[in-house]
């Protein structure tokens, strides 16, 4: 790359693919960054076209304030807009109490912004009512990780390990369309002689790569995992030495699994018993194996238990806490991992500390310079917060999310948002949610500001500023600083990302997600640093800010450690030569011990239960939802890119030929999908790649094709994840 190229990362999914940005005319163009180990230069169409949204014509460039006389959003100055937001929040709090003000964040915010937003909610507003759309991403896997392993990190090993294991069971993920550059690891796995098992009710592009494709009825993944564990026990393929030495709770989990015999599991899931036996053979015959889950099994009202059942399978076979084996979750959103580690989530403080832990409150309050007793307690989860809008919550500050499209029971959520007394939205574009706001604040994008992201591996990365934002656009940190000053906190909310990161490091020190040994310079030199990475006494950088910037080159050789959530500290450096000891970061967790008090992983006994809403005569078909290659999340950004829209211009309903024939539906004709919550209309795509009892809709579009008008907000009792992935519907010909 030439000297003008800036190394950075893609603004979309949790791979955070490395890319370069090079000046081109008034903007920038994307160039390959082949040395970055995650994607090795490969990019999908979304990453390749990302600079198109940097153009002023594609995004917001001036604040908008709603005119009370006309009801229209009108351009305004920044002072006018920020004053209006501060007044709206202040007046609501004065009239109805601190918790009448809510804050809703996003899984695409940098660590610095997520941290500052959580601090702003608790220190400036004093509200407990903060959560973020990452609750809809991998909260069930996070909860199951915590129960079993004592700490949550999406992948407890680098993505490159996937290509080197012996067998992968991929559950509810279509990597070929959601994370295309990651598909190479599954291809390399098979080239190396490994086996791939894909569990998905559709025969996706990813499932076509598999040695074995298992297509269960949506909502039955828990029974499937329990059936596999039953067979493992019955065939004597458990690793008794590993169970005895490194786990607890096996007797209860074993008893629960043995109640799910193969023929019962076949009746529940629709998966033939021979396929169950073949999956066990492939998984157990390999010297090493992994289970990777994504939204399919997680976005269910029993998602935590479902993930727990897959973890139990890994533990019972000794496929966790060992080289090239383990359970991992494929995080979806760009900073879905870091976004929940540092304070956006309703029950957490920075460093993945629990908000109701007195010692955690003391530590973070000391960093923030406030009384621990002044910090509010845990608040509502994301959907519960949205449900309370217009009731207990009268005003909302929303940053980087579009719940009018992305939330379950979306028509109801839109109604709740419209009922607010005051709504302020900070976003890049005028999303469907921003269009309902009283004040819209235009903020900088990924290439226009520096900040850190934590990818699906737990690798903390640096996205560098490559160009200035357009005139009239400010960063989210500047927005929060300006609001804090107007609300009486003139100090404590810096706008420089590295200064914020230094404070984040101090706040996270000693916590499960310890970033205290990570600096901007280290990230730049080492292609990212894996947490936990505690500061080693003598390094001093978390206490004395490092101001050297990010321009150094020449990464040192760093040994790959294998430790639990807060490692004892394998170090790099040359004490005899005088260089300070530096913790190398932790690419692989759990090789020595798990992050539980006794170092043992915990089996959690789970049993199958039906979906929150089963089919019946009125709603005889199961709906499942997901993403397509050319669009991303609520589509607020990708729907503004011509190339992506051309590839996938609108919603559709995928259904099996037998179902289509029974209903008299032909390919391409508009059909209505109706649930107990709403109705969506989109063209039919008749395909043999889906179960006859199931239909699929992508969720990227608003309007009459909005898939989330149909989805069920039933919540997992532990993670509070809504049941996006399964609900009962009927399919009708439009006008029939």
User: What is the C-alpha to C-alpha distance for residues 244 and 600, in angstroms, rounded to an integer?
Assistant: 10
Region 7-32: what's the mean pLDDT? 94
DSSP per position, 385-437: HHHTBTTTB-EEEEES--HHHHSSSHHHHHHHHHT-SEEEEEESS--TTGGG-
- Among candidate residues 360, 330, 435, 295, the one with its CA nearest the CA of residue 118: 360
Q: Is 398's pLDDT higher than 70? A: yes
* Cβ–Cβ under 8 Å, residues 342 and 364: no
* Cβ–Cβ under 8 Å, residues 677 and 712: yes
Distance from the Cα of residue 651 to its chain's centroid: 23
The domain segmentation of the chain, as residue ranges, is: 6-54, 79-137+335-444+456-495, 143-329, 621-733
Longest dimension (CA), the chain: 82
In the prediction, which pLDDT does 27 show?
Answer: 87
* Cβ–Cβ under 8 Å, residues 301 and 264: no
Could you tell me the end-to-end alpha-carbon distance of the chain, in angstroms, rounded to an integer? 60
Q: Give the pLDDT band of residue 736 (cuts 50, 70, 90).
A: low
Tell me the three-class secondary structure of 286-330, residue by residue.
CCCEEEEECHHHHCCCCHHHHHHHHHHHHHHCCCCCECCEEEEEC
DSSP per position, 137-167: TSHHHHHHHHHHHSS--S-SS-GGGGGGSSE
In Å, what is the CA distance from 182 to each residue of 19, 160, 168, 307?
A: 15, 9, 14, 21
DSSP annotation of 464 reads P
Q: Which tens digit of pLDDT belongs to each residue from 467-510? A: 999 999 999 999 999 999 999 999 999 999 999 999 999 999 99
- Please state the pTM of the whole predicted model: 0.93
In the prediction, which pLDDT does 555 show?
Answer: 29
In the prediction, which pLDDT does 565 show?
Answer: 41
User: What is the C-alpha to C-alpha distance for residues 50 and 52, in angstroms, rounded to an integer?
Assistant: 5
The tokens describing 478, both together, are 């500047």
* Cβ–Cβ under 8 Å, residues 707 and 652: no
User: What is the C-alpha to C-alpha distance for residues 420 and 415, in angstroms, rounded to an integer?
Assistant: 9
DSSP annotation of 534 reads P
Helix, strand or coil, per DSSP, at residue 507: helix
Please say whether the structural domain 6-54 has been given the CATH code 2.20.25.90: yes
Pick the CATH number of 621-733 from 3.40.50.300, 3.40.50.10420, 3.40.47.10, 2.40.40.20: 2.40.40.20
Q: Which tens digit of pLDDT belongs to each residue from 401-411? A: 999 999 999 99
In the prediction, which pLDDT does 543 show?
Answer: 41
Region 614-629: what's the mean pLDDT? 96
User: What is the C-alpha to C-alpha distance for residues 585 and 578, in angstroms, rounded to an integer?
Assistant: 21
Q: Which tens digit of pLDDT belongs to each residue from 46-96? A: 999 999 999 988 899 999 999 999 999 999 999 999 999 999 999 999 999
Q: Which tens digit of pLDDT belongs to each residue from 572-614? A: 444 344 456 899 999 999 999 999 999 999 999 999 999 999 9
* Cβ–Cβ under 8 Å, residues 337 and 456: yes
- Among candidate residues 459, 458, 462, the one with its CA nearest the CA of residue 551: 462
Cβ burial, residue 579 (10 Å; 0-12/13-18/19+): exposed
Q: Is 452's pLDDT higher than 50? A: yes
In the prediction, which pLDDT does 601 show?
Answer: 98
User: What is the C-alpha to C-alpha distance for residues 724 and 296, in angstroms, rounded to an integer?
Assistant: 9
Which CATH number describes the domain made up of 143-329? 3.40.228.10
With pLDDT > 70 as the criterion, what percentage of the chain qualifies? 94
Residue 427 half-sphere exposure, CB side, CA atoms within 13 Å?
Answer: 28
* Cβ–Cβ under 8 Å, residues 229 and 257: yes
CA dihedral 305, 333, 592, 284 (to 10 degrees): 60
The tokens describing 495, both together, are 């706008």
User: What is the C-alpha to C-alpha distance for residues 650 and 12, in angstroms, rounded to an integer?
Assistant: 20
The tokens describing 148, both together, are 């079993």
With pLDDT > 90 as the criterion, what percentage of the chain qualifies? 90
User: What is the C-alpha to C-alpha distance for residues 178 and 182, in angstroms, rounded to an integer?
Assistant: 9
Helix, strand or coil, per DSSP, at residue 671: strand
Residue 302 half-sphere exposure, CB side, CA atoms within 13 Å?
Answer: 20
Q: Which tens digit of pLDDT belongs to each residue from 180-232? A: 999 999 999 999 999 999 999 999 999 999 999 999 999 999 999 999 999 99
Least confident span in 383-397, 528-542, 639-653: 528-542
User: What is the C-alpha to C-alpha distance for residues 691 and 70, in angstroms, rounded to an integer?
Assistant: 50
Q: Which tens digit of pLDDT belongs to each residue from 140-165? A: 999 999 999 999 999 999 999 999 99
In Å, what is the CA distance from 453 to each residue of 12, 32, 450, 464?
A: 11, 19, 10, 11
Q: The domain at 79-137+335-444+456-495 falls in which architecture?
A: 3-Layer(aba) Sandwich (3.40)
Q: Is 237's pLDDT higher than 50? A: yes
Cβ-based neighbours of 656, under 8 Å, separated by 6 or more: 686, 687, 688, 690, 691, 692, 694
How long a stretch of residues is the chain?
736
Average pLDDT, the chain: 93
- Among candidate residues 112, 50, 30, the one with its CA nearest the CA of residue 461: 112
My answer on whether omega of the bond before 532 falls inside 30° of 0, hence cis, is yes
Q: Is 542's pLDDT higher than 70? A: no
Query: Angle formed by the axes of helices 273-285 and 221-234, to 10°?
Result: 60
CA dihedral 403, 404, 410, 415 (to 10 degrees): 120
Tell me the three-class secondary structure of 63-122, residue by residue.
CEEECCCCCCEEECCHHHHHHHHHHHHHHHHHHHCHHHEEEEECCCCCHHHHHHHHHHHH
Q: Which tens digit of pLDDT belongs to each residue from 245-303? A: 999 999 999 999 999 999 999 999 999 999 999 999 999 999 999 999 999 999 999 99
In the prediction, which pLDDT does 332 show?
Answer: 84
């Amino acid at each position: 790359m030439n000297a003008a190229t800036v190394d950075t990362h893609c603004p979309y999914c949790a791979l955070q693919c490395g890319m370069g940005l090079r000046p081109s005319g008034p903007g920038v163009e994307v160039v390959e960054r082949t040395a970055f180990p995650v994607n090795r230069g490969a990019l999908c169409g979304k990453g390749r076209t990302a600079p198109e949204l940097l153009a002023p014509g594609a995004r917001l460039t001036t604040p908008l304030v709603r005119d009370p006389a006309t009801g229209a959003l009108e351009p305004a100055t920044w002072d006018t807009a920020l004053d209006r937001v501060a007044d709206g929040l202040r007046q609501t709090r004065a009239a109805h109490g601190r918790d009448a003000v809510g804050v809703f964040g996003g899984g695409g915010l940098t660590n610095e912004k997520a941290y500052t937003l959580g601090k702003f909610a608790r220190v400036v507003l004093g509200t407990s009512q903060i959560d973020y759309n990452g609750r809809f991403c991998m909260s069930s896997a996070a909860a199951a990780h915590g129960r079993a392993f004592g700490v949550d990190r999406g992948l407890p090993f680098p993505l490159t390990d996937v290509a080197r294991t012996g067998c992968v069971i991929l559950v509810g993920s279509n990597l070929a369309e959601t994370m295309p550059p990651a598909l190479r690891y599954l291809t390399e796995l098979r080239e190396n002689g490994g086996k791939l098992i894909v569990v998905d009710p559709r025969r996706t592009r990813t499932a076509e790569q598999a040695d074995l494709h298992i297509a269960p009825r949506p909502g039955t993944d828990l029974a499937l995992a329990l059936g596999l564990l039953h067979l493992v026990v019955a065939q004597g393929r458990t690793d008794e030495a590993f169970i005895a030495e490194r786990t607890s709770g096996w007797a209860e989990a074993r008893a629960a699994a043995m109640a799910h015999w193969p023929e019962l599991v076949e009746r529940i899931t629709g998966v033939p018993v021979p396929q169950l036996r073949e999956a066990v053979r492939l998984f157990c015959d390999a010297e090493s194996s992994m289970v990777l889950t994504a939204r399919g099994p997680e976005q269910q009202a029993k998602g935590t238990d479902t993930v727990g059942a897959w973890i139990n399978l890994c533990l019972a076979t000794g496929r966790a806490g060992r080289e090239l084996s383990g359970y991992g979750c494929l995080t979806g959103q760009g900073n879905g991992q870091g976004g929940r580690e540092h304070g956006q989530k309703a029950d957490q403080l920075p460093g993945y500390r629990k908000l109701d832990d007195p010692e955690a409150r003391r530590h973070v309050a000391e960093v923030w310079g406030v009384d621990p007793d002044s910090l509010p307690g845990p608040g509502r989860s994301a959907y519960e917060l949205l449900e309370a809008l217009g009731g207990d919550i009268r005003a909302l500050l929303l940053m980087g999310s579009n719940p009018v499209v992305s939330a379950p029971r979306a028509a109801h959520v839109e109604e709740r948002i419209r009922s607010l007394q005051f709504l302020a939205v900070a976003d890049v574009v005028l999303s469907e949610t921003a269009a309902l706001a009283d004040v819209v604040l235009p903020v900088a994008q990924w290439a226009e500001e520096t900040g850190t992201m934590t990818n699906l591996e737990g690798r903390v990365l640096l996205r560098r500023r490559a160009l200035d934002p357009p005139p009239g656009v400010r960063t989210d940190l500047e927005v929060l600083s300006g609001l804090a000053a107007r609300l009486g906190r003139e100090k404590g909310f810096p706008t420089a990302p590295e200064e914020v990161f230094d404070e984040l490091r101090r706040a996270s020190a000693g916590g499960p997600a310890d970033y205290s040994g990570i600096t901007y310079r280290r990230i730049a030199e080492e292609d990212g640093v894996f947490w936990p990475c505690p500061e080693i006494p003598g390094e001093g950088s978390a206490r004395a800010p490092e101001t050297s910037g990010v321009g150094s080159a020449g990464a040192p050789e760093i040994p790959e450690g294998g430790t639990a959530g807060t490692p004892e500290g394998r170090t790099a450096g040359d004490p005899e030569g005088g260089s300070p000891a530096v913790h190398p970061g932790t690419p692989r967790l759990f090789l020595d011990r798990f992050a539980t008090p006794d170092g043992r992983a915990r089996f959690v006994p789970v049993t199958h239960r039906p979906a929150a809403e089963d089919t019946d005569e009125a709603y005889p078909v199961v709906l499942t939802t997901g993403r397509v290659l050319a669009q991303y999340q609520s589509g607020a950004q990708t729907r503004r890119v011509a190339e992506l829209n051309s590839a996938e211009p609108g919603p559709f309903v995928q259904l099996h030929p037998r179902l289509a024939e029974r209903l008299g539906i032909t390919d391409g004709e508009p059909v209505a999908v109706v649930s107990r919550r709403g109705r969506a209309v989109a063209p039919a795509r008749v395909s043999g790649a889906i179960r006859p009892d199931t239909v699929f809709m992508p969720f990227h579009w608003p309007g009459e094709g909005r898939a989330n008008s149909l989805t069920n907000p039933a919540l997992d009792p532990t993670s509070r994840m809504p049941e996006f992935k399964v609900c009962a519907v009927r399919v009708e010909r439009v006008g029939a």
